[in-house]
């Protein structure tokens, strides 16, 4: 099998690495890729948002399967174009990708499927904002009702901060979504879905705030760990049975059946799981912590979801233990990051088994040196028999990487390791 992966972040680096390690995968090509992915796969340029361009590249590279990583190409219909060209594609149609691209669509599907989620109101003009804010609180959840890579969300107990973010989103030309605050620890459960068939991966937890102790602004994700020692298997089963399967069935009933990875972001409270958001693709950085634990070769898994044979796939096999991914971010991220800094250090060379450095925002400078080229620059993953070992492995390797001005969280997975999370 020859696979073309679309995307350029650490998530795609993790996908490419797992596919390249699969003996049944003869070749992996990634487009547009990044400087780190180039070490594991042929990297070619592409306009990832253009269905025609992706189809052309899939033909040129004789791809049997196209895996679309990010949400934007999916929302724009790249998977439809690939399938229309007769090539298998892991990723939902544009109609199904509305589960992430349109929060109103997602809420409608959840209401019809009887799935618990936050109460929400969309506001599209500044004149309605204050009255709407008055119907929420004491914690306000203010979202950009468009694709904003996680950074469009502000969760705050400060009404002025909520109002300012909402006004900025409206000024940017997007509606604002106000939501009631869901309390309880958050879980990311990624499910392979084809139509009504749902196969969950290991649950993971993202750390969305920039600073230790969940301080600071929201980001695209500063680190993740898997699995979740505090989440009983019955809760994962409930998430599949009460959330993901009903949503998949509702989408099939509406004529937009889902194919690919359906990401359920949830809060777990005393009543059980409630949906914070759905995404139409692998999550970032959770994928970088989940895939190292997957023992089943990835190629056949993605192909089964793409070609409709998911129900016949043998149960997924997982390695025992845990994985932790820590994001190394550029100076000033999540605001406009400084780029062009040289990345160096022994940690970039092949590291000890069970650790990996995945590239997110990197490039080669004119002199061939590795430089930062985005807000989230590198992801360092460690694995181990338990969270403590996995954390130690990740942070030991991260300590051997230099990026001027960089910052990272020091507490990824720490609360779970210390038993401070319960449901
Ligand atoms: N982990 C957050 C996201 O992928 O959107």
Within-domain flag for 44: yes
Q: 305 with 338, same domain?
A: no
Total domains present in the chain: 4
Burial of 307 (0-12, 13-18, 19+ CB in 10 A): middle
**Ligand 1: which atom is nearest the Cα of residue 188?**
1
End-to-end CA distance of the chain: 42
Q: 153 with 240, same domain?
A: no
207-242 pLDDT per residue, tens:
999 999 999 999 999 999 999 999 999 999 999 999
Domain end (from 271, 288, 312): 312
Residues of the chain with pLDDT under 70: 148-151
Q: 268 with 350, same domain?
A: no
Q: How far is the CA of 68 from the centre of ligand 1 (A)?
A: 15
Within-domain flag for 110: no
pLDDT the model gives residue 149: 56
Q: 209 with 280, same domain?
A: yes
Q: Which of 120, 188, 191 is nearest to 150 (CA)?
A: 188
Structure tokens at 342: 């040289």
Q: 306 with 201, same domain?
A: yes
Q: 260 with 329, same domain?
A: no
Q: How far is the CA of 286 from the centre of ligand 1 (A)?
A: 7
pLDDT the model gives residue 367: 95
Is the pTM of the predicted complex or chain greater than 0.75?
yes
Within-domain flag for 41: yes
Burial of 389 (0-12, 13-18, 19+ CB in 10 A): middle
Owning domain of residue 160: 120-179
Cα-to-chain-centroid distance, residue 329: 16
- On whether the CB atoms of residues 342 and 228 are closer than 8 A, the answer is no
Q: 360 with 384, same domain?
A: yes
- On whether the CB atoms of residues 51 and 44 are closer than 8 A, the answer is no
- List ligand 1's pocket residues with C-beta within 6 A: 150, 206, 221, 279, 283-284, 286
Q: 220 with 296, same domain?
A: yes
The CA-atom distances, in angstroms, between 421 and each of 166, 207, 381 are 31, 14, 22
Q: 147 with 222, same domain?
A: no
Residues β-bridged to residue 68: 6
pLDDT the model gives residue 104: 83
Pocket test for ligand 1, best of 286, 289, 360, 375 (most atoms within 8 A of CB): 286
Q: Whose CA is nearest to atom 3 of ligand 1?
A: 283
Q: 174 with 252, same domain?
A: no
**Ligand 1: which atom is nearest the Cα of residue 224?**
1
- Domain of residue 129, CATH code: 3.30.1490.20
- Domain of residue 390, CATH code: 3.90.600.10
Domain end (from 94, 112, 140): 94
pLDDT the model gives residue 59: 98
Q: 67 with 37, same domain?
A: yes
Q: Which of 10, 399, 405, 17 is nearest to 224 (CA)?
A: 10
Length of the chain: 423
pLDDT the model gives residue 353: 85
Within-domain flag for 114: no
Q: Which of 266, 293, 294 is nearest to 279 (CA)?
A: 266
Within-domain flag for 37: yes
pLDDT the model gives residue 229: 98
Residues β-bridged to residue 144: 176
Within-domain flag for 369: yes
Q: 241 with 295, same domain?
A: yes
Within-domain flag for 333: yes
Pocket test for ligand 1, best of 147, 285, 375, 409 (most atoms within 8 A of CB): 285
Within-domain flag for 299: yes
């Amino acid at each position: 099998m020859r696979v073309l992966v679309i995307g350029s972040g650490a998530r795609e680096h993790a996908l490419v690495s797992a596919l390249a390690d699969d003996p049944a995968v003869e070749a992996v090509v990634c487009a547009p890729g990044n400087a780190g992915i180039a070490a594991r796969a042929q990297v070619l340029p592409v306009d990832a948002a253009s269905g025609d361009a992706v189809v052309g590249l899939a033909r040129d590279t004789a791809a049997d399967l196209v895996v679309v990583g990010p949400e934007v190409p999916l929302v724009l219909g790249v998977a439809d174009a690939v399938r229309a060209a007769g090539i298998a594609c892991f990723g939902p149609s544009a109609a199904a990708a509305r589960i992430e691209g349109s929060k109103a669509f997602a809420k409608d599907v959840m209401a019809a499927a009887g799935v618990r989620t936050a109460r929400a109101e969309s506001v599209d003009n500044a004149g309605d904002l204050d009255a709407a804010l008055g119907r929420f609180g004491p914690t306000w959840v203010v979202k950009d009702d468009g694709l904003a890579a996680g950074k469009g969300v502000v969760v705050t107990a400060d009404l002025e901060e909520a109002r300012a973010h909402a006004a900025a989103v409206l000024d940017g030309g997007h509606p604002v979504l106000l939501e009631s605050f869901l309390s309880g620890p958050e879980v990311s459960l990624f499910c392979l879905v084809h139509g009504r068939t749902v196969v969950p991966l290991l649950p993971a937890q993202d750390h969305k705030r920039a600073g230790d102790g969940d301080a600071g602004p929201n980001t695209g994700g500063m680190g993740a760990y898997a699995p979740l020692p505090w989440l009983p298997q019955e809760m994962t089963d409930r998430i599949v049975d009460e959330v993901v399967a009903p949503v998949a069935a509702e989408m099939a009933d509406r004529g937009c059946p889902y194919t690919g990875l359906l990401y359920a972001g949830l809060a777990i409270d005393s009543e059980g799981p409630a949906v914070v958001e759905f995404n139409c693709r692998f999550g970032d950085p959770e994928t970088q912590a989940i895939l190292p634990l997957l023992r089943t070769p990835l190629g056949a898994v993605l192909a089964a979801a793409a070609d409709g044979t998911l129900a016949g796939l043998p149960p997924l096999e997982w390695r025992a233990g845990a994985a932790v991914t820590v994001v190394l971010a550029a100076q000033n991220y999540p605001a406009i990051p400084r780029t062009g800094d040289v990345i160096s250090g022994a940690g970039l060379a092949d590291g000890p088994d069970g650790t990996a450095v995945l590239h997110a925002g990197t490039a080669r400078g004119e002199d061939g040196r590795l430089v930062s080229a985005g807000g989230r620059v590198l992801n360092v993953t460690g694995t181990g028999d338990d969270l403590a070992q996995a954390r130690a492995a990740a942070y030991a390797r991260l300590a051997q990487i230099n990026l001027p001005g960089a910052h990272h969280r020091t507490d990824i997975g720490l609360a779970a390791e210390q038993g401070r999370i319960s449901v």
